[in-house]
Amino acid sequence: MLDAASVLGDRLTAAIHAAFDLEGVDPVLRPSQFADTQANAALALAKRVGSNPRAVAAAILEKLDIADVGEVEVSGPGFLNITVSPQWIAGQIATLVADERLGVPRQEPRTIPIDYSAPNVAKEMHVGHLRTTIVGDSLARTLEALGHRVIRQNHIGDWGTPFGMLIEHYLEVGADSAEADLLRTDPNAFYQAARVKFDNTEDGGAWARKARERVVLLQAKDPETIEIWKGMIAHSVEYFHAIYSALDVTLTDEDLAGESFYDPMLADVCQELIDKGLAVESDGALCVFPEGFTGRDGNPVPLIVRKSDGGFGYATTDMAAIRYRAQTLGADEILYVVGASQALHFRMLFATAEKAGWLSRPDGSTVTPVHVQIGSVLGEDGKILRTRSGAPVRLSALVQEAITAAGAAVAETRPDLPEAERAVIAQEVGVGAVKYADLSVAHDTDYVFDMERMLAFTGNTGPYLQYATARIRSIFRRAEVDPEQASAPVSITEPAERALAMALLGYGATVALVGDQQVPHRLAAYLFELAQAFTSFYDACPVLTAPDEVTRESRLTLTAATLRVLTAGLDLLGIRAPEQM
């Protein structure tokens, strides 16, 4: 990697090895007040090697070869203060500029199914699904960029007992009716209409009986019923995909692996759990009691594999899914980007899968499941975001509202642009604002949905970053230079040039961190800092009116690299960078 911390970290680890014959010791790099970075390893190592920290630091220093990078000195109780040289920075920038990956490493490829979005058929996609969709999509993009084989898994809720009532209703209204169309436009309304029929007792419960019979037919794969069910799912999927395309989310039809997909595997999963002695009868139901899960009453908490009525549920499906992902998809890692409220479910699921032996392979390698917990989106009252009438906020309405607001802002700032062009910008800025607001917060913390704040052109917002890229493009238009061609050597003299260059070199390490630890908010924070470093640079260092041609070209290179990194980073967040704003 190109950044100072990665390069110095490797050199220090090598020096520690040479000095003490210890492998892979963390050099403990920390920010320093007096240098670019300080290595604190000597303090931690002193005890281990039975010496004092200053002597340890001196021994490391003796073996440390960083003459090409910069200077190092021992300070205080045994810190190694390191300052990198302007020549080294310039050389690293040249490497970055010549690298189409901008310093993003190619990691040892792993197979990583990512379970995200996962809305439910005939239910509105709400802001909770918004977050799992946006965070999951960003992780998918990032892990792909790092060279992994990502398998998107949209685990939609398309199976289970409510489908008797939904199919029966769909059959009655007809596939081509306005009522059926609600699945595409207002799924909750469709669900409610089915529910009303189901709950109606005036017919002596005849309709509800029909609905229950329909469940049996569905589970028995009655061809006519499956046909109707498929039509219904297709309507609903159209609705999901309209939202994905509005949000610029990479999920497609091919990524659908809903609950129904696992139905044929459920009986076998049960049998395997029984055979392995993991599933036992309890009150007529078949349950697994993974170790270490006790309720408040002190009793073990069950994961229900088969209900007392013989039906399978959410947990059974997830057991089939984890087995399938590990064994059939060949996962090395499985990410579940799902609400934090389901944390217990996933802990129990992972514990069961482990016990069942699904997470280890004959060659000794293991599968790591991770629940990427998603926090809640709150209203200004600090409670789960709802409409004034108390209904869950509809995702489609929310996105539309953001686009409209962005449109109004663009009409004001750029009245000179043709209407059609403004509409494209409004779309990109509105969606970018919503996505960035979501991604800039750690995925497991709650945040307050504040449309006005997320659409602001200043502060840590999507539009601010988009604007930074548009502004850089306008610099190149004025310079009549193609930013793709700006690759002249850079020279680092001003502090603001140095700060910007150092920030640029950090891109690859940041992307790697985001993939390794599932933390897209770190990329958001990085991009924001980079945009700020650029602003300081642009204020302090004239580019187009630089004192001489060499300086001008050097600064144009830094400016072009900033544009490339910002655009690439925003792309990993799933946010477009408009050409002008």
Does 137 bind ligand ARG (CB under 6 A)? Our answer is: no
Give the 3-state secondary structure percentages of the chain, helix then strand then coil, rounded to 5. 55, 10, 35
**What's the closest the beta carbon of residue 134 comes to ligand ARG, in angstroms?**
15
Are 399 and 431 in contact by the 8 Å Cβ rule? The answer is: yes
**What's the closest the beta carbon of residue 36 comes to ligand ARG, in angstroms?**
44
Closer Cβ to ligand ARG, 228 or 320, answer by number: 320
The residue count for binding ligand ARG (CB under 6 A) is 9
Q: Which stretch binds ligand ARG (CB under 6 A): 113-121, 183-191, 407-415, 549-557?
A: 113-121
String of contacts with ligand ARG for each residue 156-175, x by CB under 6 A = -x------------------
Helices (H) and strands (E) in the chain, counts: 21, 13
- Give the end-to-end CA distance of the chain in Å, rounded to a whole number: 33
The Cα angle at residue 569 between residues 240 and 528, in degrees rounded to 5? 110
**What's the closest the beta carbon of residue 157 comes to ligand ARG, in angstroms?**
4
Does 154 bind ligand ARG (CB under 6 A)? Our answer is: no
CA–CA distance, 514 with 319 (Å, rounded to integer): 28
- The residues in 38-67 that bind ligand ARG, with binding defined as CB under 6 A, are none
**What's the closest the beta carbon of residue 383 comes to ligand ARG, in angstroms?**
19
Does 255 bind ligand ARG (CB under 6 A)? Our answer is: no
Half-sphere exposure of 545 (CA within 13 A, CB side): 4
Does 155 bind ligand ARG (CB under 6 A)? Our answer is: yes
Cα distances (angstroms) measured from residue 333 to each of 111, 196, 349, 518:
7, 43, 15, 12
Residue nearest to ligand ARG (CB): 118
**What's the closest the beta carbon of residue 345 comes to ligand ARG, in angstroms?**
7
Does 140 bind ligand ARG (CB under 6 A)? Our answer is: no
Residue from 3, 36, 115, 263 touching ligand ARG (CB under 6 A): that is: 115
Residue from 56, 130, 305, 321 touching ligand ARG (CB under 6 A): that is: 321
For residue 174, report the phi and psi dihedrals to the nearest 5 degrees.
90, 140
Does 428 bind ligand ARG (CB under 6 A)? Our answer is: no
Q: Which stretch binds ligand ARG (CB under 6 A): 68-76, 114-122, 293-301, 513-521?
A: 114-122
**Helices 462-479, 520-540: inter-axial angle, 10-degree rounding:** 40
Task: Tell the burial category of 245 from Cβ atoms under 10 Å away from its Cβ (0-12, 13-18, 19+).
Answer: exposed
Cα distances (angstroms) measured from residue 564 to each of 86, 128, 401, 427, 504:
22, 32, 30, 22, 10
String of contacts with ligand ARG for each residue 71-110, x by CB under 6 A = ----------------------------------------
Does 338 bind ligand ARG (CB under 6 A)? Our answer is: yes
Cα distances (angstroms) measured from residue 49 to each of 65, 186, 246:
21, 68, 59
Does 118 bind ligand ARG (CB under 6 A)? Our answer is: yes
CA 276 centroid distance within chain: 36
Does 126 bind ligand ARG (CB under 6 A)? Our answer is: no
- Chain residues binding ligand ARG by CB under 6 A are 115, 118, 120, 155, 157, 318, 321, 336, 338
